[in-house]
């Protein structure tokens, strides 16, 4: 067992849905709201709630616009979000003795 302190795990990211959002965006960098909803298999309200929490911590940003006449919401991971996600993954790996 490593010296990693489990109490330092980022609780904002540690939620299953928020972890899935961050994992997806870490590789995709950006995604449409509907794409995230479909991939994660969550409802509009559930996804919105989790995105709001990530936005409140500046881990993601959303931009609303239109494509033609259809509304579109794009979600993008921020530099701060990328940094926090890397630290989260490294912390979990360390806790598992895989750093």
Using H for helix, E for strand and C for coil, what is the string for the chain? CCCCCHHHCCHHHHCHHHHHHHHHHHHHCEEEHHHHHHHHCCCHHHHHHHHHHHHHCCCEEEEEEEECCEEEEEEEECHHHHHHHHHHHHHHHHHCCCC
pTM for this one?
0.91
Domains of the chain in sequence order: 6-94 (1.10.10.10)
- At 68-78, the pLDDT tens digits run 999 999 999 99
In the prediction, which pLDDT does 94 show? 85
Model confidence at 38, in pLDDT bands (50, 70, 90)? very high
């Amino acid at each position: 067992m490593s010296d990693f302190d489990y109490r330092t795990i980022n609780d904002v990211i540690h939620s299953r849905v928020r972890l899935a959002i961050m994992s997806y965006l870490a590789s995709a960098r950006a995604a449409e709201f509907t794409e995230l909803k479909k991939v994660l298999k969550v409802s509009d309200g559930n996804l919105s709630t989790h995105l709001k929490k990530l936005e409140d911590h500046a881990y993601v940003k959303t931009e609303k616009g239109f494509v033609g006449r259809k509304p579109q919401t794009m979600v993008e991971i921020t530099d701060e979000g990328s940094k926090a996600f890397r630290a989260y993954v490294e912390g979990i790996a360390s806790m598992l003795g895989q750093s």
